[in-house]
Amino acid sequence: MLLRGTMQVNPAGELEIGGITASTLAGKFGTPLYVIDEALFRENCRRYREAFGPDNRVVYAGKALLCTAVCRLAEEEGLCLDVASGGELYTALKAGFPPERIYFHGNNKSPEEIRQGLEAGVGRFVVDSLYELDLLSRLAGEAGKRPVILLRLTPGIEAHTHEYVRTGQIDSKFGLPIATGQALAGVRRALACPNLKLLGLHCHIGSQIFDLEPFREAARVMLSFAAEVQAATGWFPEELNLGGGLGIYYVSGDDPPAIEELAAAVLGAVRQTCAELGVPQPRVVVEPGRSIAGPAGTTLYTVGAVKEIPGVRLYVMVDGGMNDNIRPALYQARYEAALANRITDEPTATVTVAGKCCESGDVLIQNVRLPYPAPGDILAVPATGAYNYTMSMNYNRLPRPAMVLVKEGRAEVIVSRESLEDLVRNDRVPDGLWK
Ligand SMILES: *Cc1c(COP(=O)(O)O)cnc(C)c1O
């Protein structure tokens, strides 16, 4: 298993994160436990800021990992924040995140969510459809506001990633396609809305992308479109938002470009294309989620039942599963793992790590090499910082795990473990149900 961030192996052969052994964390806070390496999260934010430079903007995509403490980390590191619902917006505002640095996304914002964004004074609405354009224009008029907007477009790019996380192709629920003329129609309509200030254009081509070429291609397609728009209308985007999507290392064979390589590719393509087209260079905005939060998170589980089916499979059951990490079940995502309490022991077994949900598909990892596991061992699954907690659920009425932030030997709870009482908090039994 690859050691990331502050992970190290101590002299006793145990895994440490942020200067604390996994078994100490498990003992103190229980399992399953989401552990976030504060130093690595901040380092990833800083690398993005430095690589893209002061003229451009880095927007942390909150859907990867969001709670009030994480908002504060992103805020302190000088990032903007992408929210995609009223709930994410509420979380950001609760954390005191400056509203002018918030980008409000979403392909079907409700009137209530739009009003919430207008009232908060979010910095940008990223408008996804002509319907939303009209709705936002009307609600802005009613509120006496003139929000700044970007239009989300689909540039028609097929990024090589799982089809569930591909978003740049024409057949997508997100954005206005350039190829069909709807993008140009959207720009014209936005320019005609006196209540809206059209500042720029947005696209997001997908997630967990290892190849830099689709990012360069997105920049070229978007700028070519912008040049056409300028010729047709005289308007040119001040801001070009190219979304997120940089992949991370999960398992051996994954070879993502570095943040600095992404920045060089994107900024280089923008510079070159603007020169070729003879258009001004817009501010470049990127929206990384996974590549900031993903590597910073590790989930700790306690091993329970170990079930060997001779000649077939060795199952190791952990005390979490698809409830805290849906990604393997949702899109065959792969992970590494280690026995954190004896990480230097020789791997002698090939095991399948299964969760505790009533679903045969509740398998976290197929065929991982581990020392022969025993009940009570602590299993660490790294790279779970993104799209784990934010996609977690209560199937089988399992309470959601706690999340702790670790740094220099200290651990602080940033999301409490759900209690059994939490699980029934919103349940109601109507009067007379039993009669
Ligand atoms: C999901 C998403 C992102 C972040 O994607 P990552 O792959 O996590 O970097 C950025 N922008 C938009 C609009 C998104 O939907």
Distance from Cα 206 to the centre of ligand 1, integer Å:
7
Ligand 1, pocket-test mutation among 103, 107, 166, 204, most atoms within 8 A of CB = 204
The minimum-distance atom of ligand 1 relative to the CA of 288 is 9
pLDDT at 160 over 90: no
Is the shortest distance between the CB of 337 and ligand 1 below 6 Å? no
- Computed over its alpha carbons, how large is the radius of gyration of the chain? 23
pLDDT band at 435 (very low <50, low <70, confident <90, very high): low
Closest ligand 1 atom, CA of 206? 7
pLDDT > 90: percent of the chain? 94
Q: Region 134-138: what's the mean pLDDT?
A: 98
Mutation probe of ligand 1 site: the residue of 207, 222, 241 with most atoms within 8 A of C-beta: 207
What is the predicted pLDDT for the residue at 169? 74
* Cα 18 from Cα 245, distance rounded (Å): 27
Span from the CA of 93 to the centroid of ligand 1 (angstroms)? 20
What local confidence, expressed as pLDDT, does residue 255 receive? 96
- Interval between CA 271 and ligand 1 midpoint (Å): 23
Under a CB-based contact definition with an 8 Å cutoff, are residues 371 and 349 in contact?
Answer: yes
CB of 61 closer than 6 angstroms to any ligand 1 atom: yes
Q: How confident is the model at residue 162 (pLDDT cuts 50, 70, 90)?
A: low
Q: Using a 6 Å cutoff on CB, does residue 243 contact ligand 1?
A: yes
Is residue 158 over pLDDT 80? no
Mean pLDDT, residues 364-382 taken together = 98
pLDDT tens digit string along 275-294?
999 999 999 999 999 999 99
Cβ partners under 8 Å of residue 57, min gap 6: 80, 239, 283, 284, 285, 286
Cα dihedral sign for 175, 61, 252, 391?
negative
Report the mean per-residue pLDDT for the chain.
96
Q: Assign 206 a pLDDT band (cuts: 50, 70, 90).
A: very high
Q: What is the DSSP letter of 280?
A: P
Ligand 1 centroid distance, CA of 350 (Å): 34
What does the pLDDT read at residue 101?
Answer: 98
290 Cα nearest atom in ligand 1: 8
Q: Which CATH superfamily is domain 105-288 in?
A: Alanine racemase (3.20.20.10)
Q: Ligand 1 within 6 A of 244 CB?
A: yes
E-state strands within 203-357: 239-241, 283-286, 297-309, 313-318, 338-339, 349-354
Categorize the per-residue pLDDT at 45 as very low, low, confident or very high, splitting at 50, 70 and 90. very high
Q: Is the peptide bond before 375 cis (omega within 30 degrees of 0)?
A: no
Instruction: Kindly report, as residue ranges, where domains of CATH 3.20.20.10 are found in the chain.
Output: 105-288
Is pLDDT of 170 > 80? no
Parallel, antiparallel, or unpaired: how do β-strands 338-339 and 378-382 relate?
antiparallel
Find out whether the beta carbon of 214 lies less than 6 Å from any atom of ligand 1.
no
Contact yes or no for 414/67 (Cβ under 8 A): yes
Measured from the Cα of 291, ligand 1's closest atom is 9
Q: Which long-range contacts (CB under 8 A, 24 or more apart) does 277-280 make?
A: 277/223, 277/224, 277/227, 278/227, 279/223, 279/226, 279/227, 279/230, 279/236, 280/236
Residue whose CB lies within 8 A of the most ligand 1 atoms, among 162, 250, 287, 331, for a mutation test:
287
**pLDDT tier for residue 70 given thresholds of 50, 70 and 90:** very high
- Chain region(s) in the chain for CATH 2.40.37.10: 8-37+294-424
Please report which helix (H) or strand (E) contains residue 176, including its range.
Answer: strand 176-177
The DSSP string of 339-395 is EGGGTTSPP-EEEEEE-SSS-TT-EEEEEEEESPP-TTPEEEEES-SSSSGGG---G
What is the average per-residue pLDDT within 51-57? 98
What integer pLDDT is reported at residue 172 of this predicted model? 83
Distance between CA atoms of 382 and 156, rounded to whole angstroms?
Answer: 33
Could you give phi then psi for residue 197, rounded to 5 degrees? Answer: -110, 105
pLDDT at 165: 59
Is 358 part of the annotated catalytic residue set? yes
- Cβ 82 under 6 angstroms from ligand 1: yes
In this predicted model, what pLDDT tens digit does every residue of 71-127 receive, in sequence order? 999 999 999 999 999 999 999 999 999 999 999 999 999 999 999 999 999 999 999
Which atom belonging to ligand 1 lies closest to the Cα atom of 386?
8
Q: How far apart are the first and last CA of the chain?
A: 58
Q: How far are the Cα atoms of 31, 180, 219 from residue 34, in angstroms, in the given order?
A: 8, 44, 36
In whole angstroms, give the CA distance from residue 194 to residue 240: 22
**Per-residue pLDDT band at 433 (split at 50, 70, 90):** confident
Its pTM stands at 0.97
Dihedral sign of CA atoms 45, 199, 166, 221 in order: negative
- Is the CB–ligand 1 distance for residue 407 below 6 Å? no
The rounded Å distance from CA 38 to ligand 1 centre is: 21
Please count the residues of the chain. 435
CATH class of 8-37+294-424: mainly beta
Q: What pLDDT is stored for residue 161 in this prediction?
A: 64
CB of 291 sitting under 6 A from ligand 1: yes
Per-residue pLDDT of 9-28, as tens digits, reads 999 999 999 999 999 999 99
Q: Is residue 201 predicted with pLDDT exceeding 70?
A: yes
> How far apart are the C-alpha atoms of 156 and 169, rounded to whole Å?
4
| Pocket lining: 168 vs ligand 1, CB cutoff 6 Å | no
Confidence category of residue 164, pLDDT binned at 50, 70, 90: low
Look up residue 187 and give its two tokens.
């720009």
* Residue from 52, 60, 66, 82 whose mutation best tests the ligand 1 pocket (most atoms within 8 A of CB): 82
